[in-house]
Amino acid sequence: MPDGFESAYVYARVCGSLARSYLGDRAKVLAMSARVGEVWRAIFGESPPALPEAELATAAERGVSARAIEALRRIAGSLLRDEPFFAALVRKWEFAYLKNALASIVERSPEAPDIEDPYLKPGFDIQGYPDLDVMLRKTRYQWIIESGLDDLPAVKNALDRQYYTELWDSITTVPAGLVGTIPDLVRVEAELENLVWGLRLKRYYSMGAAEIEQLLIELGGVDVRSPTLRAVAFRADSRSEWVGWKWENLVPDSRREDGGDWYFDVRGFESAARRYMYRRLYRRLHLEFDTYVPLYSYFRIKEFETTAIHGIIEGIRLEAPAAEIGAFAAETTGGAS
């Protein structure tokens, strides 16, 4: 067993942290807050700084992200640095920072965005900002120099796909006795990411299967694309075409607001996919407590929590109806809305 990894200790820490997290019903209660300052007090246990509501919301979102990162670092310790799989897993933070930096270049911002994670040491030279060649030459991101930033959404999509490719390839480094069902969890996650992305592209941008296929995650040796390519060929107004499809159990039973015929609700499908993945992660972390699965599940579940809290803060700032904010919080963290 790798140095620094004690399965019983890690499992206990993961369970303890999740018990205190804003998931399910706790997220719904948090969503009932009337002001961003109330959310701040609930999460951070202190009075909020004297800032305008919009600035306070931004500070709170950053603080929530920082707390999630710090929680994982406390539990996983040196594994995040010494184990290739976990290094690839948390490189998601680096990918996110790079995307922000690239956006700043496109917007001609004179300075690079701040690094909010004090432990993050980017695998590229941010001191070279805004010169792409200086920043990215001889790094895993060198391809961006050649592609350029004329189509920033395409670059961001390619970075998302690169993240999953690297994560998938790193699984082979995990000792056999510790890998558990991580390959299956990553495969299902990538497949659902493809589905949500592909169905959005069809619904909102009228893209065809050939265009969509080029934008999907690909994992070596496994097929995570065909369910999406099949789904985008179905008619959105024909429920019968979805019968027998691999992910039919996630298809919402939706009708138009005017009482018309059934239609495929992309947002409803995305919510169902999130709930499915959350529950799958939560179940596996308890069943495979003597492997790396609890740590992997913990990372992903904290992502769900962070997304939910960010949505709660934004909803309160925009004065959205409390019921809508609560429903979003619940569905994002695996609960029923």
Please, which pLDDT band fits residue 323 given cuts at 50, 70 and 90? confident
Residues 98 and 144: beta-carbon distance below 8 Å:
no
The token pair at 182 is 């991580």
Encoded amino acid at 178, one letter: L
Percent of the chain past pLDDT 90, that is, above it, reads 78
Whole-number average pLDDT of the chain:
92
Closest CA to 219 of 165, 171, 183: 165
> What is the pLDDT, as a whole number, of residue 336?
46
CA distance 222 to 110: 43
Mean pLDDT of 310-329: 88
Closest CA to 38 of 322, 268, 335: 322
Predicted TM-score (pTM) above 0.85: yes
Higher pLDDT, 34 or 255: 34
Instruction: Give residue for tokens 């993961």.
Output: 14
> What is the pLDDT, as a whole number, of residue 120?
87
